[in-house]
Amino acid sequence: MRKRIIAGNWKMNMDHIEGSSLASLILEGIGEKELPCEVVVIPPFTTLPAVAEVFAGSKVDTGAQDLWYEDAGAFTGEISGSMISRLGCRYVLVGHSERRHILGEGSGILALKLRAALRAGLTPIYCVGEAAEERESGNAEDVVEKQVREVLEGLGPEEISRTVVAYEPVWAIGTGKTATPEDASGMHSFIRGLIAGIFDKEAAGRILILYGGSVKPGNASELLGCGDIDGALVGGASLDAGQFLGIIFS
Ligand code: PEP
């Protein structure tokens, strides 16, 4: 039985003061309740230390939104995996669609970043997903296959066992449009099949594949009820404690 992860990507929202308050509200909302899944909060870099402090000793994990692919050195403005892990973070996003499309990150750099995350002992959440025109032209699976192969091929068995994939159709991110449970779970089982082909059945059975794209309390349980969907990467709704908690406990 695979575990479930609900991860909240705060994107470029919440400074360290606002972020501490939101983290405290999330903790208060969880209270003494048993968490039905692993919960990860992914704030901006400058907010991360404050949020990690609020969640220290709790059941909520933290993650970063990006990392650089070298471990240290003359890379002005960049943050290494070890800097992130030393804050107590366990996760890092790699290849979020906003970094692919706004900042032009492609498979070459993403493969290096994913390996840097693993080297630092972090769990990379590797984001893949097709754009609207790619889905409309019937190329969604080809696009996702390329993204998966170009970055994950060549990982060792131990490395793939520490990697999480997030399927986030670009047209569903921040738009209020959600993939139907059938379309989402179809793509998730396609990705799982790819992992079986590249690695083996054991790796495919074990890998967590999260869905992202306008997940809200109202649609979470239907999406999360699909067999191959192991959790959610949540953007907008993770900025509101009530909505995020609604998804966690859906
Ligand atoms: C995201 O940022 O990864 C995301 C899925 O955003 P939203 O939930 O707002 O669509």
List active site positions.
Answer: 96, 168
What amino acid occupies position 188?
Answer: H
When the pLDDT of each residue in the chain is averaged and rounded to a whole number, the result is 97
In ligand 1, which atom is closest to the CA atom of 168?
A: 5
Q: How far is CA 182 from the centre of its chain?
A: 21
Residue 53 neighbours by CB under 8 Å, 6+ apart = 20
Give the DSSP letter of residue 172.
Answer: G
The Cα 196–Cα 16 span in angstroms is 41
| 168 CB neighbour count, 10 Å cutoff | 27
CA proximity to 160, closest of 195, 112, 108, 109 = 195
Q: Is the CB of 220 under 6 A from ligand 1?
A: no
Calculate how far, in angstroms, residue 236's C-alpha sits from the geometric centre of ligand 1: 6
Task: Please write the tens of the pLDDT for every residue from 184-243.
Answer: 999 999 999 999 999 999 999 999 999 999 999 999 999 999 989 999 999 999 999 999
pLDDT tops 90 at residue 118: yes
User: pLDDT value at position 8?
Assistant: 98
DSSP string, 207-224: -EEEEESS--HHHHHHHH
Is the CB of 235 inside a 6 Å radius of any atom of ligand 1?
yes
44 lines ligand 1 (CB under 6 A): no
**b (16+ CB within 10 A) / e for 134-149:** bbeeeebbebbbebbe
Tokens 């990392």 locate to: 67
Q: What is the pLDDT of residue 227?
A: 87
What pTM did the predictor assign? 0.97
Q: Is the CB of 6 under 6 A from ligand 1?
A: no
Q: Give yes or no for residue 166 having a pLDDT over 90.
A: yes
Beta bridge partners of 128: 167
Q: In total, how many domains does the chain have?
A: 1
Ligand 1: does its nearest atom lie under 6 Å from the Cβ of 213? yes
The neighbour count for residue 207, using CB atoms within 10 Å, is 21
pLDDT band at 78 (very low <50, low <70, confident <90, very high): very high
Tokens 């909505």, located at residue = 243
**Beta-bridge partner residues of 167:** 128, 211
Q: Are 167 and 144 in contact (CB under 8 A)?
A: yes
Q: Structural domain of residue 61, as residue ranges? A: 5-248
Q: What is the CATH number for 216?
A: 3.20.20.70
pLDDT band of residue 1 (cuts 50, 70, 90) is confident
Find out whether 134 and 143 touch, Cβ atoms under 8 Å.
Answer: yes
Cα of 107 vs centre of ligand 1, distance in Å, is: 21
Q: What percent of the chain has pLDDT over 90?
A: 97
Q: Indicate if the pLDDT at residue 99 is higher than 90.
A: yes
CA–CA separation, 81 vs 78, rounded Å? 10
Task: Name which residue sits closest to atom 2 of ligand 1, judged by CA.
Answer: 235
CA of 180 to the centre of ligand 1 (A): 16
Q: Is 63 in the pocket of ligand 1 (CB under 6 A)?
A: no
Give the mutation target among 14, 128, 168, 178 for probing the ligand 1 site: most ligand atoms within 8 A of CB.
168
CA of 168 to the centre of ligand 1 (A): 8
